[in-house]
C-alpha cells in the first residue's frame, strides 16, 4: 500500500495525520456515548444563546402575573394572608373578566387566622354549646375562599413530594392519547402535596407548581406528570391554566407511532400535547424548553393594585393570570437561562406565553445523529487536507470549518428555534487542526521557496520588494482592504478586430494598452490583468494610495482625454491609407469598497489580484455603460470619496448577481467642470427628474427629462442616457408596475 497520499507532496511524516485521525475517532466515540458532562455543556451553551438573544416579551399576549409583592405585604401583612383577602383578590380578578386564575401556591392546611377556627379553640374555656353557636354564626375563611373559587375559573397549585405524601390531587380533566402510551415517557413522582379538599373541589383545575427539581437552572418543564402507584396523568400549572381558560376538558397526547409520527420500531417519545385549540410541542419526555425573556417587570401587576381597585375596568379582560410572589423574603426564586433568582411564578407565566405564541425551543430527535455525521464529515475533510495545504491555507480552511460549526447552530437557534450543539463539534475540529499543525509547519519552507522563484514572473518590482520586507505575504492569500477597482472595455471591438489581420490587431492593442497602462501606473494604480481588449486595475493595493478614489477618477478622465488623441492619430493614418476610420470608444466602470487582495492561485503559479463584491460591482457597472449610453459609470462609494468631481446621478439599479440596489453616477469631469453653471443647472434638473421617476410620477418625470435634455446640451453632455430613459418612461407609462419602488433591475451584465 502506498502512503504517498498521506505524506503529501512535501514528504512530511504521516504521524501528525494519524494523530489527527485518532483524535477524530476518539471524539466520535465520546460523542456517541454522550456522557452527562456533554449534556451539561450543551445546556450551558444554550443558556448563553438565550442570553445573547432572549425571546422578546410581547405585551399583547394575554398572560400576566398578580404579584404578592412588597407593597401588598406591607398593606395586608405577612404571608400567608387570611383567605378572606385571597377570596377578595379572586373576586376582583373575576370582575376584571380574566379567563383563568392560576395559583402558584399550595393551601395545604386550613386557614389558622379564621375566626371560626379560633372560636372552636375556645372550647377549653367555655361551654361547648356556646362555642357551637358562635362557630355556626361565623363563616369559615376557607369556605369564603372556596365560594370565590367556585364562582371563577381557578386553577389550584399542587406540588410533588420526593418522599411520598398524601393522596394525589383531584383530576379535573380527561386524558386521551394517539400513538404509544405516554405513561412510559413521563417523569414519575413519589407523592404529592395539595390544597385542602374544600378548595380543590371548588376549583376548575389543578396544576403542578414544580419545575425541575433536579437542576439548578430551570431549562425544561414537564407538561404532564404521573404519580407512583396512581392511575392518570397530572398537568403542569401553565398548561392547566390554558385548558381552563378555554373551557376544554381533555388533553390529547400525541406520541410516536401516531398518524404521521414514525417510531422506527421503537417507542421514541411524546411529540405534542393538545388541549382545546392549543397544541404544545414537547420533547420526547413531554417537556417544554423555556424560551426565556428574562425578568420583565411589565409582566407583573401588583396584588395591592387589584385589591384596592386601582386597575381600569377590563384591564385584564381575557387574560390568564398567575398569582404568585416576587417578594425576596418568601424565597420563591428560581434560576433561568437568562436571569438568576427570578420569581418562580414567572417561569409558569413564561411557559403560558410561549405556548400561546407557539414559540418553542426544540432539540430535534435527529440532532444527535446529525451532529455525529456533521462532525465526522468535517473532521475527515480536515484530516485529508492536512498533508496537502500550507499552514496559512490550513488556517483558513480550519477557521471556515470551525466558524461553520459555530454559525450553523446559532442560525438554527436565532432563526428557527432549533438547538444544535455549538461547543463539541468546533472544539473537536480545533483539536484535530492543532494536532496536525506540525505537518503543515514542515511543508512551509519548501512552499516559500517555490513562491519566491515565481515572483519575478508574475508580480511587479514594487510588490516583490514589499514581499521581501514582509515574508508573511509570501503565502497564498492576502488581506481585506478598501480599494477602488476599474474595469474598461473597448466598444465595438469585434468590428475593429474584423478590420485587422492578426499582426495589425496586435499592433492596435499594444498602441491602445500601452498609453492606458502608463496613465494607470503613473497615478498609483496596479494592473491586475488584461482580458483581450479589457483592462482590470485597482488602487490602494498592494501599496497604500492616499485618496485612491480621487486618483482613480483622475486616471479615467485622463484615459478618455488620451483616447481622443489616439483617435485623431488613427483617423489621420486611416485617411493616409485610404481606409475608413472606426472611432475607438471605451466604457469604464469604477467602484470603491472592501476586497480581498493578495496572491491567488496555486503553489506552481499565482498572481496578485483582488476579489470581492466591490470588484464584481465595478465590472457590473462597466457593463451598464452601454445600456445607459455613457462612457464612465462610478459607484456611489466612489462618488462619496471623490465629491469634488463633476458627476451626475443616473439611476438606482440592482445589477446582475446582487440583491441590494446601488446608486450609479456618470463621471463628467474634474472640479473645474463641476463649477460650470451649466453643469450645476443640469444636476438640479436631474434631481427633479429622478425624484419624479422614483416616486412613480412618470408623466412628471417625462416633462423633467425634456428639460434635462436641453440643459445637457448646454453643458456639452450629449450622450444616449436621456434617450434610453425616455424609452423606459414610455414603457412604464404604458404599463405602470404595481410594486414600483424606483429601483431598476438590470437585465444584462
Q: For residue 282, is pLDDT > 80? A: yes
Q: What are 311's three cell numbers?
A: 386597575
Q: How confident is the model at residue 91 (pLDDT cuts 50, 70, 90)?
A: very high
List the one residue out of 330, 370, 306, 363 whose CA is nearest residue 66. Answer: 306
Q: Are the C-beta atoms of residues 614 and 658 closer than 8 Å to each other?
A: no
Q: How confident is the model at residue 392 (pLDDT cuts 50, 70, 90)?
A: confident
pLDDT of residue 120: 52
Q: What is the pLDDT of residue 232?
A: 80
Q: What is the DSSP string of 318-356?
A: T-EEEEE---GGGT-EEB-SS-SSEEHHHHHHHHHHHHH
Q: Where are the beta strands (DSSP E) in 392-494?
A: 477-491
pLDDT at residue 17 in the model: 77
> Comparing 251 with 460, which gets the higher pLDDT?
251
710 backbone φψ class: left, alpha, beta (φ>0; ψ -120 to 50)? alpha
Identify the pLDDT of residue 459.
45
Nearest to 323 by CA among 111, 105, 57: 105
Distance CA 534, CA 501 (A): 19
With a cut of 80, say whether residue 312 has pLDDT above it. Answer: yes
Q: What is the 3-state secondary structure (H, E, C) of 594-612?
A: EEEEEEEECCCCEEEEEEC
Q: What is the pLDDT of residue 125?
A: 52
pLDDT over 60 at 123, yes or no: no
Q: What is the DSSP letter of 361?
A: B
Question: pLDDT tens digits for 170-200?
Answer: 888 888 888 888 888 887 887 788 889 999 9
pLDDT for residue 416 is more than 80: yes
Could you report the per-residue pLDDT of 105-116, keeping only the tens digit for each?
999 888 876 665
- pLDDT per residue over 355-390, tens digit each? 999 999 988 888 888 889 998 998 888 888 877 776
The answer to whether residue 566 scores a pLDDT higher than 50 is yes
- pTM value is 0.56
**CA-based R_g, the chain, Å:** 39
Q: Label residue 450 by pLDDT band (50, 70, 90).
A: very low
456 class by beta-carbon count within 10 Å (0-12 exposed, 13-18 middle, 19+ buried): exposed
Peptide bond into 542 cis (omega under 30): yes
CA 461 – CA 475 distance, rounded (Å): 18
CATH of 457-675, one of 2.60.40.10, 3.30.1300.30, 3.30.70.1230, 1.20.1430.10: 3.30.70.1230
Distances (CA, A) of 699 to 291, 684, 691: 53, 18, 12
Q: How far apart are CA 306 and CA 639, in angstroms?
A: 63
Listed by start position, the domains of the chain span 4-54+363-443, 63-357, 457-675, 676-738
Q: Which helix (H) or strand (E) holds 588?
A: strand 585-601
722 half-sphere exposure, CB direction, 13 A CA radius: 21
DSSP result, 72-135 = HHHHH-SSSPPHHHHHHHHHHHHHHT-SEEEESS---S--TT-HHHHHHGGGGTS-HHHHHHHH
CA separation for the pair 348, 208 (Å, rounded):
10
pLDDT single digits (tens) 40-86: 888 889 889 999 999 999 999 999 999 999 998 998 988 889 999 99
Q: Which residues, other chains included, contact 197 with Cβ-Cβ below 8 Å and sequence gap of 6+?
A: none
| CA–CA distance, 97 with 81 (Å, rounded to integer) | 24
Element (H, E) at 235: strand 234-235
Amino acid at each position: 500500500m502506498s502512503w504517498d497520499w498521506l505524506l503529501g507532496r512535501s514528504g512530511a511524516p504521516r504521524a501528525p495525520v494519524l494523530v489527527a485521525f485518532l483524535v477524530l475517532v476518539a471524539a466520535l466515540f465520546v460523542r456517541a456515548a454522550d456522557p452527562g458532562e456533554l449534556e451539561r455543556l450543551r445546556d450551558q451553551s444554550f443558556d448563553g444563546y438565550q442570553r445573547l438573544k432572549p425571546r422578546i416579551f410581547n405585551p399583547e399576549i394575554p398572560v400576566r402575573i398578580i404579584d404578592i409583592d412588597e407593597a401588598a405585604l406591607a398593606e395586608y401583612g405577612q404571608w400567608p394572608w387570611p383567605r378572606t383577602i385571597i377570596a377578595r383578590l379572586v373576586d376582583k380578578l373575576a370582575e376584571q373578566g380574566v379567563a383563568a386564575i392560576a395559583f402558584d401556591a399550595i393551601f395545604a392546611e386550613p386557614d389558622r387566622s379564621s375566626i371560626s377556627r379560633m372560636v372552636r379553640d375556645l372550647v377549653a374555656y367555655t361551654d361547648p354549646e356556646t362555642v357551637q353557636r358562635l362557630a355556626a354564626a361565623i363563616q369559615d375563611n376557607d369556605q369564603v375562599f372556596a365560594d370565590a373559587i367556585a364562582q371563577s375559573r381557578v386553577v389550584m397549585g399542587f406540588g410533588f413530594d420526593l418522599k411520598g405524601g398524601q393522596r394525589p390531587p383531584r383530576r379535573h380533566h380527561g386524558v386521551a392519547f394517539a400513538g404509544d402510551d405516554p405513561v412510559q415517557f413521563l417523569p414519575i413522582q413519589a407523592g404529592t402535596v395539595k390544597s385542602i379538599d374544600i378548595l380543590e373541589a371548588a376549583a376548575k383545575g389543578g396544576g403542578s407548581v414544580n419545575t425541575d427539581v433536579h437542576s439548578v437552572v430551570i431549562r425544561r418543564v414537564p407538561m404532564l406528570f404521573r404519580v407512583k402507584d396512581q392511575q392518570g396523568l397530572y398537568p403542569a400549572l401553565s398548561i392547566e391554566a390554558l385548558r381552563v381558560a378555554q373551557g376544554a376538558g381533555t388533553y390529547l397526547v400525541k406520541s410516536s407511532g401516531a398518524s404521521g409520527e414514525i417510531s422506527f420500531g421503537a417507542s421514541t417519545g411524546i411529540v405534542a400535547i393538545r388541549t382545546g385549540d392549543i397544541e404544545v410541542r414537547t420533547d420526547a419526555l413531554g417537556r417544554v424548553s423555556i424560551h426565556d425573556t428574562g425578568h420583565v417587570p411589565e409582566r407583573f401587576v401588583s396584588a395591592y393594585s387589584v385589591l384596592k381597585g386601582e386597575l381600569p375596568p377590563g384591564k385584564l379582560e381575557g387574560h390568564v393570570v398567575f398569582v404568585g410572589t416576587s417578594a425576596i423574603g418568601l424565597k420563591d426564586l428560581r434560576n433561568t437561562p437568562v436571569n438568576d433568582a427570578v420569581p418562580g411564578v414567572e417561569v409558569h407565566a413564561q411557559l403560558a406565553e410561549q405556548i400561546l405564541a407557539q414559540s418553542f425551543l426544540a432539540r430535534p430527535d435527529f440532532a444527535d445523529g446529525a451532529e455525529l455525521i456533521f462532525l465526522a464529515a468535517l473532521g475527515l475533510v480536515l484530516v485529508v487536507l492536512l498533508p496537502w495545504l500550507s499552514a496559512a491555507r490550513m488556517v483558513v480552511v480550519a477557521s471556515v470549518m470551525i466558524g461553520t460549526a459555530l454559525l450553523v447552530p446559532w442560525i438554527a437557534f436565532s432563526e428557527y428555534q432549533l438547538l444544535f450543539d455549538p461547543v463539541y463539534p468546533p472544539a473537536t475540529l480545533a483539536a484535530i487542526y492543532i494536532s496536525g499543525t506540525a505537518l503543515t509547519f514542515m511543508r512551509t519552507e519548501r512552499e516559500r521557496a517555490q513562491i519566491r522563484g515565481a515572483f519575478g514572473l508574475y508580480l511587479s518590482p514594487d510588490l516583490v520588494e514589499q514581499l521581501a520586507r514582509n515574508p508573511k505575504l509570501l503565502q497564498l492569500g492576502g488581506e481585506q482592504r478598501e480599494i477602488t477597482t476599474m474595469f474598461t472595455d473597448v466598444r465595438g471591438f469585434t468590428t475593429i478586430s474584423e478590420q485587422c489581420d492578426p499582426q495589425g490587431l496586435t499592433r492596435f492593442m499594444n498602441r491602445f494598452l500601452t498609453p492606458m497602462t502608463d496613465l494607470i501606473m503613473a497615478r498609483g494604480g496596479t494592473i491586475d490583468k488584461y482580458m483581450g481588449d479589457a483592462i482590470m486595475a485597482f488602487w490602494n493595493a498592494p501599496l497604500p494610495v492616499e485618496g485612491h478614489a480621487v486618483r482613480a477618477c483622475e486616471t479615467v478622465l485622463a484615459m478618455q482625454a488620451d483616447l481622443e488623441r489616439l483617435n485623431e492619430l488613427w483617423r489621420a493614418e486611416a485617411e493616409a491609407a485610404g481606409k475608413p476610420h472606426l472611432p475607438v470608444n471605451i466604457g469604464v466602470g469604477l467602484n470603491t469598497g472592501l476586497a480581498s487582495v493578495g496572491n491567488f492561485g496555486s503553489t506552481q503559479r499565482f498572481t496578485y489580484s483582488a476579489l470581492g463584491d466591490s470588484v464584481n460591482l465595478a465590472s457590473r457597472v462597466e457593463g451598464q455603460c452601454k445600456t445607459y449610453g455613457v462612457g464612465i459609470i462610478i459607484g456611489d462609494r466612489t462618488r462619496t470619496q471623490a465629491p469634488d468631481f463633476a458627476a451626475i446621478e443616473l439611476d438606482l439599479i440592482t445589477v446582475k448577481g446582487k440583491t441590494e440596489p446601488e446608486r450609479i453616477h456618470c463621471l463628467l469631469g474634474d472640479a473645474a467642470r463641476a463649477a460650470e453653471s451649466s453643469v450645476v443647472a443640469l444636476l438640479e434638473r436631474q434631481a427633479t427628474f429622478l425624484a419624479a421617476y422614483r416616486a412613480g410620477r412618470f408623466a412628471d418625470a417625462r416633462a423633467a427629462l425634456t428639460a434635462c435634455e436641453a440643459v445637457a446640451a448646454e453643458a456639452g453632455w450629449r450622450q444616449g442616457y436621456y434617450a434610453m430613459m425616455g424609452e423606459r418612461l414610455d414603457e412604464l407609462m404604458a404599463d405602470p408596475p404595481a410594486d414600483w419602488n424606483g429601483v431598476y433591475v438590470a437585465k444584462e451584465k
